[in-house]
Amino acid sequence: MALFIFVANNNLVFLKQSIIYYLLIFIILFLGCTKDDPVVHYPHAATNNINDQALYQAIRKAEIDKGILSIIVYRNDDIIVEKYFNDNNSEMVHPVRSGTKSVTGILFGLAYDGGYIEDLNATVGDYLSEYITQTDTSIAQITIQNLLTMTGGFDWEELMDYENYNNWANAEDHLSYALQIPVIHLPGEYFTYTTPGCQILSAIFTKATGYNLKSFAEEFLFSQIGIIGERSWSADIHGNSFGGITLNLTAKDMLNLGILFLNNGNYNGVQVLSNEWVVESTSLYINTYNSSPYASEYGYLWWIGENEKSEYYFANGYGGQFIFIFPTLNLVVIAQSEINNQYHSPTDQWSNTISIIMVDILNSVNI
């Protein structure tokens, strides 16, 4: 009996020691994990040299903003984060506003590659002489390249004062209105951001190709890069799609356009757009005199800039619609924002969104 009690007591002591041992191990492992192994929010971040925690804080900032609808960060063929806010989702289309201009530039590249347009030095007068009045023929000398680079020389102010733009937007005949804007600078020498100039481009495009921008995009661009289904893009009374505004896209559509340019015109192994056009259209043509923050230069309807991490270019839409391409970082960042939200004015929303991209998200990306 004494032996039995001795053995039993030894087993009980051993059991207690075992419980204490494994409890200590659990506590050590638990504390170790919480201290040294923080939660991973984006599994592809680390493998693509992006700071997961910094990126998470950037995305949280976008969510707290309340006006941002979507953020997509893409690097090295991986979607690092694809986040939607305010009841938005991957299937919802939204206006890209003046981001439309960069798509118009892409379509001119496709038309140029396809031989529909042979010379970017061809003039407005070469294509639209029937619209030009005899009293002012200076607009006839403006070239396609002038219009693509916002150097038409127009007497126009749009970025700081919306009155000119609103008068044009409310006109019955947008093309005729655009062709009557006075030319006060020698074309090619001075940057003047002019949305009506894109309507002149659109009319030239229709005349040269037999397609308006929307129908050409559907056949030769969207179908090639995975943009499937109807994407609204309104037209003027002549049937010319609006060259500078009104295109609606999903965030993933915008990403596909960014990937196309990041890969030098190639999409999923197919050369949709020539590498030459990608390089030419994103080259520095004119100084913007910092007309827009983060964009000191302008190409063919693309804003262009540079910082300590990378050269970059971007499609830029009113109220915070962006397609940012950072070639040396192999990075694309997409943002959509709601301009009619109760939290910010469109100007403030634009500033908030671009700051999250250029400061918070970019700071999470390692070279």
Q: pLDDT for 228-277, tens place per residue?
A: 999 999 999 999 999 999 999 999 999 999 999 999 999 999 999 999 99
- Half-sphere exposure of residue 211: CA atoms within 13 angstroms, side-chain side: 17
* Pair (255, 194) in one structural domain: yes
Mean pLDDT of 163-169: 97
* Pair (225, 287) in one structural domain: yes
* Pair (89, 24) in one structural domain: no
Alpha helices in the chain (DSSP H): 2-36, 52-65, 99-113, 124-128, 144-148, 163-169, 174-179, 195-209, 213-220, 251-262, 275-281, 346-355, 362-363
Reference 315, options 281, 286, 341, 340; nearest CA is 281
Q: What percent of the chain stands above pLDDT 70?
A: 89
Which band of pLDDT confidence, cut at 50, 70 and 90, is reported for residue 294? Answer: very high
Which three-class secondary structure string do you get for 217-232?
Answer: HHHHCHHHCCCCCCCC
Three-state secondary-structure class, residue 303: strand
Q: What percent of the chain stands above pLDDT 90?
A: 85
Kindly state whether residue 223 falls inside one of the protein's structural domains.
yes
Mean pLDDT of 137-162: 95
Kindly state whether residue 42 falls inside one of the protein's structural domains.
no
* Pair (253, 108) in one structural domain: yes
Q: How many domains does the chain have?
A: 2
Which residue range is the domain that position 2 belongs to? Answer: 1-37
Mean pLDDT of 36-65: 94
* Pair (289, 313) in one structural domain: yes
- How far apart, in whole angstroms, are the C-alpha atoms of residue 343 and residue 194? 29
Q: Are strands 321-326 and 331-337 parallel, antiparallel or unpaired?
A: antiparallel
Three-state secondary-structure class, residue 297: strand
Which band of pLDDT confidence, cut at 50, 70 and 90, is reported for residue 184? Answer: very high
Which band of pLDDT confidence, cut at 50, 70 and 90, is reported for residue 5? Answer: very low
The pLDDT of residue 54 is 98
* Pair (160, 108) in one structural domain: yes
Q: Are strands 303-306 and 68-75 parallel, antiparallel or unpaired?
A: unpaired
Mean pLDDT of 140-166: 96
The pLDDT of residue 341 is 86
The CA R_g of the chain, rounded to the nearest whole Å, is 27
Work out the mean pLDDT of the chain and round it to a whole number: 92
* Pair (167, 29) in one structural domain: no
* Pair (135, 158) in one structural domain: yes
- How far apart, in whole angstroms, are the C-alpha atoms of residue 237 and residue 242? 10
* Pair (27, 160) in one structural domain: no
Whether pLDDT at 304 is above 90: yes
Whether pLDDT at 136 is above 90: no
Whether pLDDT at 17 is above 90: no
* Pair (85, 107) in one structural domain: yes
- DSSP-assigned states of every residue in 95-108: E-TTHHHHHHHHHH
Reference 226, options 170, 269, 274, 279; nearest CA is 269
* Pair (12, 99) in one structural domain: no
Tokens describing residue 50: 């992006």
* Pair (242, 146) in one structural domain: yes
Tokens describing residue 136: 């002012």
> What residues contact 48, with CB distance under 8 A and at least 6 apart?
75, 76, 78, 80
Lowest mean pLDDT among 50-59, 185-194, 288-297: 288-297
Cβ count within 10 A of residue 102: 28
Q: Residue 98 belongs to a domain with what CATH number?
A: 3.40.710.10
- How far apart, in whole angstroms, are the C-alpha atoms of residue 358 and residue 314? 11
- The sign of the torsion formed by the CA atoms of 45, 51, 54, 58 equals negative
- DSSP-assigned states of every residue in 276-343: HHHHHHTS--EEEEEEETTEEEE-SS-EEEE-SS-EEEEEEETTTEEEEEEGGGTEEEEEEE-TT-SS
